[in-house]
Structure 1
């Protein structure tokens, strides 16, 4: 039985939080789809409420720490998770219930004033073990999407099958775990998914189906009404998530031939840029009435931040002598970041917030740095940024990825 505060938190999640977490139409927002699927799953619902109460408190400037209601629902969800884990040994699990719960657990721990490396590493390992033992990568990566579609919900323009939502949830978990891996938290799940490129590609193809369907046509055999450029933007964005995790591996010393790996990653970034003209266009475009989508701006921003991350993945570190390519990437990153902030709401888009972090710790320009500080809205990233800047100053103006991860580990 939901209380009045629970209903208020869910309403906030549906009408404000979910749209802010996406550049898509709210009817296609993954978080809107996740909410409707979690609503009739008791365990996932508790974790959803834990996140919703916390995000509402943040939104209302009441507290950056989870309120009592949030902690209560998280504890109840954890108790049910432990029961489900034990039951899984003898009876089949509701995989979507499990994976949605894991996703909300990530959202719960990522929205703190400081990341908790121990909690996130433990969560990453739990999700990895569950995926491995349940063969979810095989279950979700079928070549043909399932028919018929099931579970249409009032207020949603599309219907989705559990398999598609399960694939989408796995992609989100891969994204979140790779994001955390940059800071030295988690990474076990992301490493697992990275190790199966063909299945990862199949998961992505199925997971993006909701974004490609015509709004009024449920027949998967028909062509999508999504413009080719929008398809390209989605695919480029996902490729950047993959490259980000592979650069994580390089910077953490997990590759046998670092120089060879660096060269291959640079080539893949160059090919990505050549095949997606919008990446360069948005830097050079001076038309303030641009018709390009917010997702295009976000993707372009993340692209240039990823280029800088690759250049700084090993030595000498952020703030060190810049090659011409690093200098150009920083200039482009700052230009498109300014434009992106003016285009729409980006305060809950973690990858864009990360791109601002990269710009802020690389630039030596005080004006740009102050703008970055004021533009980073994620409290955890903003706090990390300040800690990194203090340490960078102490070290003489240069800070390596190893130094950054050690800082996070001490926090």
Structure 2
């Protein structure tokens, strides 16, 4: 055996000591083992480093067992919840070694964490009988964001990448799967539209990164603005991948529309200075829908009685995918209608509402999205739940459709008197129409226990009253400019505020999000300062809150702010622009 090579001119003398300093061991020289600094390190002016105190294996295991797991972001699920398979199957570790989840899984579920261990599944409460109907999914996981470089060509070109998730990203997915109030929904998470979007994310890098960006941003916002994970990294990469997807002639419309939805969820919680404007988002959606003729594919209005067209539609998009696309389009329409009022969007909403029956036809297609997706696996109790809530959600949809209709009429308020009377008649007829009339009765219930049906009824009726106030403000005449007149709108505002207070008494943060638009209009028509303060405290939508503060300041002299001024205020409510609003108010006064 040849002698070891010399190190720094000194011949090696035998094998290195297993108990020497770490510095000598790294240099492959025999350590003299003098402490605290051995002679070799002292002579060469090296940092002499030693191992810590040796801890026996038995003691190390006991210490590890005593460590508590990370605090969960959501409470443990109950055993009675329905199931949804999120990510069972074949995660590949970041090393690219192709190690399947079955090599490390514990029980039915488990996520391979960044350290190669298995993280406890958020669905450990599910039994195998419930899970068996669902086919396993390949889970497209992002790389650990601490090490990710957005310029990494391999990551950008090969997504979806089957690599590991960080602990924060696991918690974000766990939160997304369990949170019933995320977005618009109050549906059982396992059988919701968001559960379907999770499946979409398992195959799409753009959707996955934007889903994580939205969820991580939501968690940070609810924790009081604290930073949680790398939402910005996911957001930037998701945007880039979405742009690449949209540029492809073979882009998947479900992937693109799902990405639009998560872009909205990100934007509603980001600081205003970091936001992509709703106008930009509206333009993106409108251009994509028009370029791919999705408004024709999704709507049945043009296909009634035309078998040739129906065949072409079914060939272009299966019924379940068309229903899912229609549902996403309807949700985004609602958002765009509100943004249009604020002067931030409207192109997409205008496009979808332009065809005969337009958005109402689209809504009809969207109603079966869940049942068509899950097919025979969709539980009977979930189908019953859909039927029970159908009237409340239909009322909600009609209110947003009429909001957009008024948006189109009030570029230069006030609203044409004849048009205003027509809208008022339709509003009154909508309230009397059965079974929507029953939704109003449910909203009037004083019960403190408000289940999903009652919560949705509260939401829909609150939106209806907000629409009434919006219509009134757009039709405002000079004799209605002062508070306390005989227009009865103050009665509507009082009923709306009582309804909101009753609905929010359940401390449902999801319901609070859903009632931001009605809160804004209740505040505009409320002269009582104590009630105004309560409303402002409940406003989590910063843009609407800032706008309401400025409007209340202008109305402090007892004169209603006209609709043109309200819209201008809503367009300028951030940062230094607030100073310009104050100066504008002085000029306006």
Match of 1:373 in 2: 536
**TM-score scaled by length of structure 1:** 0.83
Alignment partner of 1:41 out of 196, 200, 204: 204
Match of 1:382 in 2: 545
Match of 1:405 in 2: 567
Paired residues of 2:213 and 2:266 also in contact (CA < 8 A)? yes
After superposition, what is the alpha-carbon deviation per residue over 1:82-102, rounded to whole angstroms, capped at 9, x for unaligned? 222332xxx321111111111
Let me know the Cα RMSD of the aligned residues. 3.4
Q: CA deviation at 1:285?
A: 3.9
Structure 2 CA distance for partners of 1:396 and 1:339, relative to 1, 3 Å: closer
After superposition, what is the alpha-carbon deviation per residue over 1:124-176, rounded to whole angstroms, capped at 9, x for unaligned? 111101101101112223478979x99xxxxxxxxx93222111111111111
Match of 1:253 in 2: 412
Gaps of 5+ in 1: 151-159
Match of 1:235 in 2: 394
Gaps of 5+ in 2: 1-162, 304-309, 575-589
Q: CA deviation at 1:183?
A: 1.2
Alignment partner of 1:175 out of 322, 334, 358: 334
Distance 1:115 1:266 in 2: 38
- Please list, as runs of the form range in 1=range in 2, the aligned pairs for 1:191-202 lying within 5 A after superposition: 191-202=350-361
For the pair 1:32 / 2:192, whether they are aligned, the reply is no
Alignment partner of 2:467 out of 289, 306, 311: 306
Distance 2:558 2:330 in 1: 39
Paired residues of 2:474 and 2:563 also in contact (CA < 8 A)? yes
Paired residues of 1:164 and 1:206 also in contact (CA < 8 A)? yes
**TM-score scaled by length of structure 2:** 0.60
After superposition, what is the alpha-carbon deviation per residue over 1:46-90, rounded to whole angstroms, capped at 9, x for unaligned? 111111111010122134xx7671111111122222222332xxx
Distance 1:41 1:97 in 2: 7
Instruction: Give 3-state SS (helix, strand or coil) of 1:399's partner.
Output: coil
Instruction: Give 3-state SS (helix, strand or coil) of 2:357's partner.
Output: helix
Paired residues of 1:214 and 1:225 also in contact (CA < 8 A)? no
Match of 2:456 in 1: 295
For the pair 1:79 / 2:240, whether they are aligned, the reply is yes
Greater fraction of residues in helix: 1
Looking at both structures, which has the greater relative contact order when contacts are Cα pairs under 8 Å and sequence separation is at least 6?
1
Distance 1:120 1:308 in 2: 24
Q: CA deviation at 1:40?
A: 1.8
Match of 2:494 in 1: 331
Q: CA deviation at 1:123?
A: 1.5
Instruction: Give 3-state SS (helix, strand or coil) of 2:561's partner.
Output: coil
Match of 1:342 in 2: 505
For the pair 1:121 / 2:279, whether they are aligned, the reply is yes
Distance 1:214 1:135 in 2: 23
Paired residues of 1:19 and 1:26 also in contact (CA < 8 A)? no
Paired residues of 1:319 and 1:361 also in contact (CA < 8 A)? no
Distance 1:350 1:252 in 2: 28
Paired residues of 1:44 and 1:101 also in contact (CA < 8 A)? yes
For the pair 1:315 / 2:476, whether they are aligned, the reply is yes
Distance 2:549 2:266 in 1: 22
Paired residues of 1:330 and 1:359 also in contact (CA < 8 A)? yes
Distance 2:167 2:292 in 1: 37
Structure 2 CA distance for partners of 1:271 and 1:57, relative to 1, 3 Å: same
Instruction: Give 3-state SS (helix, strand or coil) of 2:540's partner.
Output: coil
Distance 1:289 1:120 in 2: 36
Distance 1:294 1:146 in 2: 36
Instruction: Give 3-state SS (helix, strand or coil) of 2:186's partner.
Output: coil
Alignment partner of 1:206 out of 353, 365, 387: 365
After superposition, what is the alpha-carbon deviation per residue over 1:177-208, rounded to whole angstroms, capped at 9, x for unaligned? 11211211111111111112434223211211
Match of 1:105 in 2: 263
- Please list, as runs of the form range in 1=range in 2, the aligned pairs for 1:389-400 lying within 5 A after superposition: 389-393=552-556, 397-400=559-562
Instruction: Give 3-state SS (helix, strand or coil) of 1:312's partner.
Output: helix
Distance 1:214 1:277 in 2: 30
For the pair 1:6 / 2:165, whether they are aligned, the reply is no
Q: Which has the larger radius of gyration?
A: 2
Q: CA deviation at 1:323?
A: 4.0
For the pair 1:188 / 2:326, whether they are aligned, the reply is no
Structure 2 CA distance for partners of 1:284 and 1:176, relative to 1, 3 Å: closer
For the pair 1:281 / 2:432, whether they are aligned, the reply is no
Distance 1:162 1:366 in 2: 49
Match of 1:96 in 2: 254
Paired residues of 1:57 and 1:67 also in contact (CA < 8 A)? yes
Alignment partner of 1:16 out of 179, 202, 208: 179
Structure 2 CA distance for partners of 1:271 and 1:116, relative to 1, 3 Å: farther
Greater displacement, 318-327 / 200-209: 318-327
Match of 2:522 in 1: 359
Distance 2:196 2:419 in 1: 38
Q: CA deviation at 1:306?
A: 0.9
Instruction: Give 3-state SS (helix, strand or coil) of 2:179's partner.
Output: helix
